[in-house]
Structure 1
Amino acid sequence: MTGEKLRSLRKDHKPSKEDGDLLGPSGEDEAAAAPGGVFTGGRCPAHYPVHECVFKGDVRRLSALIRTQGIGQKDSHGNTPLHLAVMLGNKECAHLLLAHNAPVKVKNAQGWSPLAEAISYGDRQMITALLRKLKQQSRESVEEKRPRLLKALKELGDFYLELHWDFQSWVPLLSRILPSDACKIYKQGINIRLDTTLIDFTDMKCQRGDLSFIFNGDAAPSESFVVLDNEQKVYQRIHHEESEMETEEEVDILMSSDIYSATLSTKSITFTRAQTGCLFREDKTERVGNFLADFYLVNGLVLESRKRREHLSEEDILRNKAIMESLSKGGNLMEQNFEPVRRQSLTPPPPNTITWEEYISAENGKAPHLGRELVCKESKKTFKATIAMSQEFPLGIESLLNVLEVIAPFKHFNKLREFVQMKLPPGFPVKLDIPVFPTITATVTFQEFRYDEFDESIFTIPDDYKEDPSRFPDL
């Protein structure tokens, strides 16, 4: 177990590529709700037969319905049948739904996934089952997107793109330790290479290095994505199967950490032209790198964050606080002997006393709580941001999204991809501010772009590099 993995998993259980990045562009999920009933306003509940079976623990009827009904459908409170099964501790229903590939990377109206609810309930076997299914579905999703992605890359011209990341925070002490990074992206045919110096980044600590991510579209799926550590001259293939021990260790950390949800709400977002000048105001237009750009103010961008800890003991809370204090001072988890201990299942919460009718008839946003009594802290923060749009930039938004989808294993690149998926003003976003954590924003600047050709060797693993499957355990 490495310090890097402990840092990334321990920090308030931040959403990762495995459990679903909760900072979606509008708080929406990747798993679309299946066709079915709709909620009519709190007095006349729609009919959700699969949800009702799960709520009442009717495994036999669920088994019959599951073949014809959409098991990824959300009810009026945003819960899928899997959410209900986990919150109510209906293990047979949960395992039956998982066996039929019920979506795990999906959030309810409060921003919680079935995995988050399983951590709250505290049944270790259920947490493990959901985590494994989540990883399996994540791999399947990548493979499903692969043909479309390769087609888009093939149709795109070959180019070199350079972009800079500068991180800022309104927390004074934090600002001094925040990183910046210059990323270089090379694209040729269906191959992409990303060079970066930022290995890992949380809202408390960054890790420097010299990395290259290489995507080889001609290679077999299991060998198409590798990361090179150019300092240690080792490489690791990404999307490798985790060992039993790695999964068990991850479950231990999930069970002993805060459950964290963050939703970037863009429902009320608007863009207004930025102004310049004191007496005579005019629209702000400036050059960003080599490109003339119109500047806009981004209004109505709100980050809603929630943190739960009803599953934690006082000892857990004190231990986590000590870990964060150690990290903030530059400490190393391994040196501090912060290895997780094997966690046992918690005592189940009291049996549910709410009826199906009470649950489904409840007003939107006021769903009766199911499961362990909540211990939740909520906060909202409004972000002020600017964005510079250029009509001169040679690359289009859709092309950028295809490239970013390849390199999305970087958490901060995933935030950039989500942000530019919004309906932006005309042009290409050559400079933009995006929130990456509740206390941190990043300014991303596209410094250089040119169509070019490269030696094919830059998309291959150097002969003197050795394979190290555990170099980057979070990838």
Structure 2
Amino acid sequence: MAEGIEILEPDKDFPLHEGIFNNDIKRVSQLLRIHDVGQKDPHGNTPLHLAVMLGRKDIVHLLLAHGAPVKVKNIQGWTPLAEAISYGDRQTIFSLLKKLKQQSREALDDRRPALIQALRNIGDFYLELKWDFQSWVPLVSRILPSDLCRIHKKGACIRLDTTLVDFNDMHWERGDITFIFDGEASPNESLTVLDNKLKVYQRIRHEEMDAELDEEIDILMRSDIMAAQMSTKTITFTRAQSGWFFREDKTEMIGDYEAEFYAVNNLILESKKRREHLSPEDVQKNKVMMENLSKGSWDNKEFERRESLSPPTLADVTWKEYISARPGKFPCLGRQWISKESFKAFKATIAMGKDFPMTVDVLLDVLEVIAPFKQFQKLREFMMNKLPPGFPVKIEIPVFPTVTAKITFNFFEWRTDLPDKLFTVPRNYREDPNRFPDL
């Protein structure tokens, strides 16, 4: 045996996976008392991945009851939820989606005390940042939205004012929206969204209604299964140059701040999609919808109820054949994959202001609070990379496979005079618990 090479013994190293593969519920129940429910095998599959792909419904529920992680990807980039959509059992999708949202809330609740203390330690401030969305898809850029966000912070409270109610790569909704986080309130009362046109507000609940989950499942079962991730391990930054004949490092004023420009190199968005669960009619409808989008129209019809698909024929694969396959190259265990993979390199720049009063660490804490807004999740993910010195006063990031965002920090100032009423719901607003179903 070559020195330094670890030889795995499947029977000994992955007994929980093997028990699930062989549908041995009794052994799985015994192993769950002593075994890591989130362990990954050589293919990156957790026990939950395997149970879902093999259609072991009873074991799926058993694993979820023991806290099996749902938001985890295998080597191929797929989560247990993605595999559940492929398999097509509605109840399994429901259980995974509900557990995923619960685990996300619990993770934020665990971070909550430290996050609130971090906010208290920051001075009070007012910040403006502008979003400009662009696309390489013809005609789409001209209809993409822009937005000027205003953020007030006082004590453990944050207020975000925005004109984008919801945004993804296929749909956006404009409005006059305020998001309020009150760190001093109880978790169930801390997040509130206001619609300033309708003069209504909604507390962001910790529990989703089953009807809301059903609607989300209808969309998932009718859409491509998507996995997109931004490759950041190979990102490098080089000083951008300006001038025709005499090249020099590019420096410009961004708002009130002098900024040094950098080119972002090796920024690659890896996109994968699968559609083995879709009928030819589904594929055609989705194609028409994307064509309408490129022409500037959006038909936001409600999706009809989707029933469970007929279970796929299980592959004639033994445990030894599965576990011995090359990492990430295991045989298909469920519905035969219909997949497509693409890589797109993004040309991006970032402008670092050396005298910006806020630090990146402070901004990351603020962005964690307003993470329910999808575009801010992408900004936070990118900001967690090791950036050049300074503060990114202007930055370009891919937010969806076809959409790039340019974010500019227009204005910042420390404030000591912010009134408390900025962080409370106006008295003339009424509560509407269903105004923002996606939050």
Which TM bucket (shorter chain)? over 0.9
- TM-score by length of structure 1 reads 0.88
Displacement of 1:333: 4.2
Give the structure 1 partner of residue 324 of structure 2: 361
Q: 1:449 to 1:45 in 2, by over 3 A?
A: farther
Displacement of 1:432: 0.7
Say if 1:45 and 1:361, in contact at 8 Å, map to a contact too.
no
Query: Once the two structures are aligned, what percentage of the paired residues are identical?
Result: 62
2:247 maps to 1:275: no
Displacement of 1:450: 0.6
Residue 256 of structure 1 aligns to which amino acid in structure 2?
R
Gaps of 5+ in 1: 1-37
Match of 2:178 among 189, 195, 212: 212
2:399 maps to 1:433: no
2:199 maps to 1:236: no
Say if 1:39 and 1:45, in contact at 8 Å, map to a contact too.
no
Match of 1:445 among 408, 421, 433: 408
Say if 1:115 and 1:131, in contact at 8 Å, map to a contact too.
yes
Q: How does 1:255-334 map to 2 (within 5 A)?
A: 255-328=221-294, 333=299
Match of 2:312 among 335, 343, 349: 349
Give the structure 2 partner of residue 401 of structure 1: 364
Gaps of 5+ in 2: none
In the TM superposition, what whole-angstrom CA distance separates every residue of 1:93-142 from its partner, at most 9, and x where no partner exists? 21110010101111111211101100100111111111111121122122
Distance 1:400 1:292 in 2: 19
Q: 1:86 to 1:315 in 2, by over 3 A?
A: same
Distance 2:328 2:100 in 1: 27
Say if 1:293 and 1:388, in contact at 8 Å, map to a contact too.
yes
Say if 1:205 and 1:328, in contact at 8 Å, map to a contact too.
no
Say if 1:159 and 1:188, in contact at 8 Å, map to a contact too.
yes
Residue 330 of structure 2 aligns to which amino acid in structure 1?
A
Distance 1:332 1:286 in 2: 39
Displacement of 1:268: 1.4
Give the structure 2 partner of residue 190 of structure 1: 156
Give the structure 2 partner of residue 89 of structure 1: 55
- TM-score by length of structure 2 reads 0.94
Say if 1:286 and 1:294, in contact at 8 Å, map to a contact too.
yes
Displacement of 1:411: 0.7
Give the structure 1 partner of residue 33 of structure 2: 67
Distance 2:8 2:65 in 1: 32
Match of 1:466 among 426, 430, 434: 430
Distance 1:170 1:39 in 2: 45
Displacement of 1:463: 0.1
2:139 maps to 1:173: yes
SS for the counterpart of 1:247 is: helix
Give the structure 2 partner of residue 51 of structure 1: 17
Displacement of 1:44: 8.7
Displacement of 1:428: 1.1
Say if 1:42 and 1:363, in contact at 8 Å, map to a contact too.
no
Distance 1:445 1:331 in 2: 28
Distance 2:5 2:61 in 1: 27
Displacement of 1:80: 0.8
Give the structure 2 partner of residue 371 of structure 1: 334
Say if 2:160 and 2:178, in contact at 8 Å, map to a contact too.
yes
In the TM superposition, what whole-angstrom CA distance separates every residue of 1:15-65 from its partner, at most 9, and x where no partner exists? xxxxxxxxxxxxxxxxxxxxxxx9948999982222222122221111111
SS for the counterpart of 1:173 is: coil
Residue 333 of structure 2 aligns to which amino acid in structure 1?
L
Q: 1:441 to 1:41 in 2, by over 3 A?
A: farther
Residue 77 of structure 1 aligns to which amino acid in structure 2?
H
Say if 1:85 and 1:91, in contact at 8 Å, map to a contact too.
yes
In the TM superposition, what whole-angstrom CA distance separates every residue of 1:136-174 from its partner, at most 9, and x where no partner exists? 112212211111110100111101111111111222300
Distance 2:57 2:5 in 1: 27
Give the structure 2 partner of residue 99 of structure 1: 65
Displacement of 1:181: 0.8
SS for the counterpart of 1:172 is: coil
Match of 1:132 among 98, 102, 119: 98
Q: How many correspondences in the alignment?
A: 435
Displacement of 1:468: 0.6
SS for the counterpart of 1:305 is: strand
Q: 1:201 to 1:351 in 2, by over 3 A?
A: same
In the TM superposition, what whole-angstrom CA distance separates every residue of 1:198-255 from its partner, at most 9, and x where no partner exists? 1122223332111110001111111101011011100011135222222222222221
Residue 398 of structure 2 aligns to which amino acid in structure 1?
P
Say if 1:193 and 1:213, in contact at 8 Å, map to a contact too.
yes
